[in-house]
């Protein structure tokens, strides 16, 4: 799942939890729960045939995704909702960490941690149901807006 919907859940967590460490733990757990839900972005770069071309394409998507997630955080903070910044920081860090850990392990080729990449990937295929980003992207946008609705 994209970082933006993960961030929307982190925002929601920050409105329900008062402790930064607990918010962090819930952020991590929420990440893995969301990854289990079939979310239609597994084949988003399949039209790119070369490995390098595919990687550049995915990096561009990740850049836009993180930008949108930051925009979402900015929107939430400036909405005037009472929020403890440390709790929000803990929840966001927890929600982002599983994907950043995966990317770091892949990029630095940390072979001893490949078990994590394996299980993270396994979660994505828990229901073994992939569908097109044509439906997956709108689903994730809808999900993000729904979580935001519950947070404001
Ligand atoms: Zn993930």
pLDDT digits (tens, 9 = 90+) for 74-107: 999 999 888 999 999 999 999 999 999 999 999 8
Strands (E), the chain: none
Provide the sign of the torsion angle of the four alpha carbons 123, 36, 133, 6, taken in this order: negative
This prediction has a pTM of: 0.92
Q: Which residue has the tokens 């990317």?
A: 103
Find the domain containing 13 and state its range.
3-151
Mean pLDDT of the chain: 93
Q: How far is the CA of 97 from the centre of ligand 1 (A)?
A: 9
Q: In this structure, what token pair is assigned to residue 152?
A: 């404001």
Query: Do 3 and 69 meet the contact criterion of CB atoms below 8 Å apart?
Result: yes
Ligand 1 centre and the CA of 82: distance in Å? Answer: 28
Report CA(31)–ligand 1 centroid distance (Å): 6
Q: Say how far residue 58 (Cα) sits from the centre of its chain.
A: 14
**Which pLDDT value is given to residue 26?**
98
Map residue 43 onto helix, strand or coil. coil
Angle, nearest 10°, between helix axes 3-14 and 20-36?
Answer: 140
Residue with tokens 């990096």: 59
Tally of domains within the chain:
1
Residue 24 has pLDDT above 90, yes or no: yes
Q: Of 32, 35, 11, which is closest to residue 23 (Cα–Cα)?
A: 11
Q: How far is the CA of 34 from the centre of ligand 1 (A)?
A: 8
Between the CA of 129 and the centroid of ligand 1 the distance, in Å, is 16
């Amino acid at each position: 799942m994209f970082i933006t919907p993960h961030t929307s859940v982190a925002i929601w967590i920050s409105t329900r939890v008062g402790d930064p460490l607990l918010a962090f733990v819930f952020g991590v757990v929420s990440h893995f729960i969301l990854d289990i839900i079939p979310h239609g972005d597994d084949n988003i770069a399949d039209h790119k045939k070369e490995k390098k071309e595919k990687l550049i394409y995915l990096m561009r998507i990740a850049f836009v995704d993180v930008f949108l997630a930051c925009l979402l955080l900015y929107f939430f903070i400036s909405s005037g909702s009472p929020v403890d910044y440390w709790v929000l920081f803990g929840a966001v860090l927890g929600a982002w960490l599983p994907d950043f850990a995966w990317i770091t392990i892949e990029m630095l080729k940390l072979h001893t941690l490949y078990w994590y990449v394996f299980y993270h990937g396994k979660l994505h295929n828990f229901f073994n149901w992939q569908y097109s980003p044509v439906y997956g992207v709108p689903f994730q946008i809808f999900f993000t807006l729904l979580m935001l609705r519950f947070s404001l």
